[in-house]
Structure 1
Amino acid sequence: MILSGTVLADSETVIDDGSVVVEGSRIEAVGQRDEVVDRYPDREERTFDILLPGLVGGHIHSVQSLGRGIADDSELLDWLFEYILPMEASLSEAEMEIAAKLGYLEMIESGTTTCIDHLSVNHADRAFEAAGEMGIRGLLGKVLMDQRSPEGLDEATDDALAETERLIQKYHGSFDDRIRYAVTPRFAVSCTEECLRGARELADAYDGVRIHTHASENQSEIETVESDTGMRNIHWLDEVGLTGEDVVLAHCVWTDESEREVLAETGTHVTHCPSSNMKLASGIAPIVDYLDRGINVALGNDGPPCNNTLDPFTEMRQGSLLQKVDHLDPVAAPAETLFEMATINGAKAAGFEQLGELKPGWRADIVGVRTDVTRATPLHDPLSHLVFAAHGEDVVFSMVDGEVVMDDGDVTTVDADEIRQQARDVGLSLEEHRDAADEVRP
């Protein structure tokens, strides 16, 4: 297949009248359209306005998608312990599957082809199966929580680690290696030292398994960890083995100089979630400083209840504007930087090789975007448009590993209308459950 249009092969390479040739799961060629069509005269050709690498959601909570709008205007720990964790605990196996599918559906529809997904404690199998069925690429993990956890989510440490190992053995490298595993402690507040060290041991025991957790998102969180351990959050995670090239830390809003040195020295990846950090008033992560130190920074939406959208284009725009206003510098975090965070940097964090740019031999994860909209008129700079003006609804085509998962704006792997209706039905039951709990609460 030949895909033609304005090709953004990477943050610096724009081919105005270009083409990408896909053979199997890989990109065979990238170049000027006339040359490519002459070289491959018998290939089917599809034309789009802009072609770009599939975007990477560097920190996502797909299974929180049913909680969009239930916890607005709340501080992080209140938001988490009063609303989100009780919702996660209440979901049945079938409801967890619907929640995951709803999240993956939104991601595919808006141009995210790879996600680093922080699931929940229970029913993780359902999310893995949903991701496999729907065709998204993902680094997924069951959540570990063995202290300060609400009823229904608290697990004995040995049981939690044993279940994690079972899931690693079943799903790591599954679905033609589209799905890989990340050992996923919720965060240091809800995990004992034994649990965190056990997470490192499991990651070391299996080739390619990574670690994904939250860190230093909120000042109350840091104070709790310091009270428990006598150490700041990043130093504590480093002490128990949760730093390194195979570790993805979401947020890292509140870090001091010594912690940033640890992140840089260990090669730990950071995922920036600007909309979530703004909505929860957690703060502004020092992304420019991280990048200047050589720390790889990806971009993520976080969960729908603390963002309200899984649109990656919104996150690119917010990520750039937030750094500009924080630094009072209009050239801080330019479009090129945010595009890299949402593509190649995210791929590095997720551990997928040859992903995040459109190059011969690389994985064929490709997105097609329409520009026949008013906010794209006139179109002076495709990259600027994608970062500052495009929306997820502009995506009309998505391909993962050479397989088309969305065509002409419709997801091809599942019945999107059915998923949305199932999610509405579960949403009504969640409302009834909350109303009943409110009636008996003293």
Structure 2
Amino acid sequence: MKRIGLKASCVVGFDGQRHVLWRDGEVVFEGSRILFVGRDYPGPVDQWIDYGNALIGPGFIDLDALGDLDSTVLTLDNGDERAMGRMWSEDYLAAGPRESYTADEEVFKYRYAFTQLIRNGITTAMPITSMYYREWAETYDEFAAVAGIAGELGLRTYLGPCYMSGMGYWRADGSLGHHWDEARGMAGLEAAARFFYDFDGAQGGLIRGALLPDRIQTCTPALLQRTAALSRELNAPMRLHCCQGLGEVAMVEQLRGVSPLAWLQQLDLLTPRSLLPHGLYTQGDDDLQRVVDGGASLVHCPVVFARDGEALNSFGRYRAKGINFALGTDTWPADLLENIRQGLNIARLMEGGNSLTGTLDLYNAATLGGAKALGRDDLGRLAPGAKADITVFSLRGLHLGPLFDPLKNLVLAGRGDDCIASYIDGRCVMQDGQVQGVDYPALQRQAQRQFEKLMRSHSERAFAQPDWKSLFQPAIPFADDYSAQVPLSTIDPLP
């Protein structure tokens, strides 16, 4: 194994308690482990790489990582989701749901998404995709292929097929219905357990298993109880989306008689293994105390909710209660710097000041908080013995302005593609902004073709199956007939 040394004008080290900044610092690693962080390494090094004016830091940890060709962007200024086919209609359910993508296309979306995650400085990901365009949920075979892609690209991932026992749909009268299939949910859990046994620790430890039920409102008590038991048996992380909408809260209170977090507590699903996106709609301090008492972590995804005028109230208040935060991208772009920036601004708006939430609090959530949520003391930090998951962010960009503080400059004006190099488990997976082995133009062309196919599929799920083009309104109206426009998939996005 070669001993590699990295140098830069700024290095984020870890002193055992907190991140610390080294000027003109060095990071030395051998194989998958870091040997040294600081200045003037005294031992031999096989290769030095000097990145100059840059920030070397720990890789970001994204625990609600966009693993899709994101569909939430289609809701931007396009009216009610009920009318645009992003939820099932009663007619679509009666006709029988079907897959919108082929099996190869399902796997491709992960290749595209994982490339984007690496491109944005994310080294550990627990992906999330939408289920509304699926026949049901994800499959074992699909995720066996996904694990192969993660290993090929070198991304550290926590994987498992999503499973569920129900799906909401809209009735013709505008009311919300719920379709349940308990047997299918249990079969999905069995597939997730099989995947865990077969793939946990694969690709030299880059692949770890996880239990990923869909959402609290699409899972029956029996499915969640079995999930809790399996999480204990396997010591497996479990992620469950909850407290993300008023409709979800009302449904759980109607069906279970308690708040979503109180119900999870009853089911023994508030534990140190529990990762809970998004936690916006909680029922007072009692709910927050349930999270603290159980040792669960919240996965904060500020950008996706801000687009609809929703926000956590608030990051600083929850954190002051003792809740551990991780971060997630959830939506396009797959940029945790953008979520740190917007998360900071949104928190201060919700808190009416700047005293509760600081820049470092969000950065910690993207690094140390994510590691704690996974039960890992070897991730989210640069320190001897930690995994060599290392990112390099250029500080040379004109858009960053005059340098006064590397992290603050990046949070105020940076973007994910300021990441110019990434090492995961000691392997260089990106250099000079190029993810190893990926043809960017070809990747983007395939994504464009496939995304247009997804847009077309919306017509099938909407009532009366309108022309799909009528479901997506441009921000600026077309001057001529939209239906006569050249298909987007014929336009090369990267000439």
Fold agreement, TM-score > 0.5: yes
Change (3 A) 1:84 1:409: farther
- The verdict on how the C-alpha distance between 1:170 and 1:75 changes in structure 2, with shifts beyond 3 A counting, is farther
CA distance in structure 1 between the aligned counterparts of 2:167 and 2:154, rounded to whole angstroms: 35
Task: From 366, 383, 398, give the equivalent of 1:342.
Answer: 366
Normalising by structure 1, report the TM-score: 0.91
State the secondary structure of the residue aligned to 1:343: helix
Query: 1:213-232: per-residue Cα shift (whole Å, max 9, x none)?
Result: 11101111100111110010
Secondary structure at 2:272 match in 1: coil
Q: In the alignment, is residue 97 of structure 1 matched against residue 107 of structure 2? A: yes
**1:133 deviation in Å?**
1.9
CA distance in 2, matches of 1:80, 1:434: 7
Alignment of 1:17 onto 2:18: no
1:279 matched to 2:307? The reply is yes
Determine if contact 1:397/1:408 at 8 Å carries over to the other structure: yes
Instruction: Give yes or no for contact 1:183–1:199 (8 Å, CA) kept in 2.
Output: yes
Query: What is the distance in 1 between the residues matched to 2:305 and 2:315?
Result: 13
**TM-score, length basis structure 2:** 0.81
Which residue is equivalent to 2:320?
292
Q: Is the 8 A contact 1:320 1:332 kept in 2?
A: no
Q: After the TM superposition, which of the residue ranges 6-15 and 393-402 deviates more from structure 2?
A: 6-15
Larger Rg: 2
Tell me the alpha carbon deviations over residues 272-331 of structure 1, each in whole angstroms, 9 at most, x when there is no partner.
Answer: 1111121133332422122112211011111x3xxx311111000011111111111123
Pairing partner for 2:38 from 19, 31, 34: 31
Indicate whether 1:441 and 2:465 are aligned.
yes
Matched to 1:251, the amino acid is H
Matching of residue 420 in structure 1 with residue 427 in structure 2: no
Deviation at 1:20, TM superposition (A): 0.2
Give, in angstroms, the shift of residue 118 of structure 1.
2.8
Consecutive unaligned residues in structure 2, runs of 5 or more: 132-136, 170-177, 467-495
2:86–2:461 Cα contact (<8 Å) kept: no
Which piece of structure 1 moves more, 182-191 or 42-51? Answer: 42-51
Is the partner of 2:277 in helix, strand or coil?
Answer: strand
- Whether 1:321 aligns to 2:345 is yes
Compared with structure 1, are the counterparts of its residues 24 and 357 closer, same or farther at alpha carbon in structure 2 (3 Å cutoff)?
same
The Cα offsets for residues 227-254 of structure 1, whole Å up to 9 and x where unpaired, read as 1100100011111121100000001011
User: Is 1:219 matched with 2:231?
Assistant: no
Q: How does 1:39-188 map to 2 (within 5 A)?
A: 39-40=43-44, 42-48=46-52, 49-63=54-68, 65-67=69-71, 69-73=73-77, 78=82, 82-83=86-87, 89-119=99-129, 121-122=137-138, 123-148=142-167, 156-188=184-216
The 8 Å contact of residues 27 and 359 in structure 1, kept in 2 or not, is answered as: yes
Distance 1:219 1:437, change over 3 A: closer
**Partner in structure 1 of residue 6 of structure 2:** 3
C-alpha separation in 2, matches of 1:392 and 1:112: 9
Specify the code of the residue in structure 2 equivalent to 1:232. Answer: S
Query: Partners of 1:43 and 1:147 in 2: how far apart?
Result: 54
Post-superposition offset of 1:158: 2.5
Structure 1 residues without counterparts, runs of 5 or longer = none
Instruction: Give the distance between the partners of 2:192 and 2:381, measured in 1 at CA.
Output: 32
Change (3 A) 1:199 1:421: same
**Aligned residue number for residue 264 of structure 2:** 237
Paired position in structure 2 for 1:265: 293
Structure 1 residue matching 2:74: 3-state secondary structure: coil
List per-residue Cα deviations over 1:146-190 (Å, max 9, x = no partner): 123579996623211211111111221211111112211111211
- 1:383 maps to 407
Amino acid at match of 2:357: A
Q: How far off is 1:70 after superposition?
A: 2.1
1-structure distance, mates of 2:180, 2:99: 6
Corresponding letter in the other structure for 2:187: D
Identical residues among aligned pairs (%): 25
For 1:438 and 1:98, the matched residues in 2 are separated by 26
**Corresponding residue SS for 2:385:** coil
User: What does residue 368 of structure 1 align with?
Assistant: 392
Q: How many residues matched? A: 433
More helix by share: 1
CA 286–68 in structure 1, closer or farther in 2 if over 3 Å, else same? closer
Q: Which range is displaced more, 145-154 or 40-49?
A: 145-154
Q: Structure 1 268/321 Cα, relative in aligned 2: closer, same or farther at 3 Å?
A: same
CA separation of 1:367 and 1:79: change in aligned 2, threshold 3 A = farther
1:96–1:285 CA distance, 2 compared to 1 (3 A): farther
Structure 2 counterpart of 1:247, from 274, 279, 282: 274
Distance in 2 (alpha carbons) for counterparts of 1:351 and 1:230: 32
For 1:403, the aligned partner's letter is R
Matched residues in 1 for 2:201 and 2:459: separation?
42
Q: Does structure 2 retain, via aligned residues, the 8 Å contact 1:4–1:46?
A: yes
Q: CA RMSD in A?
A: 2.7
Supply the distance in 2 between the matched residues of 1:110 and 1:84 (Cα, whole angstroms).
33
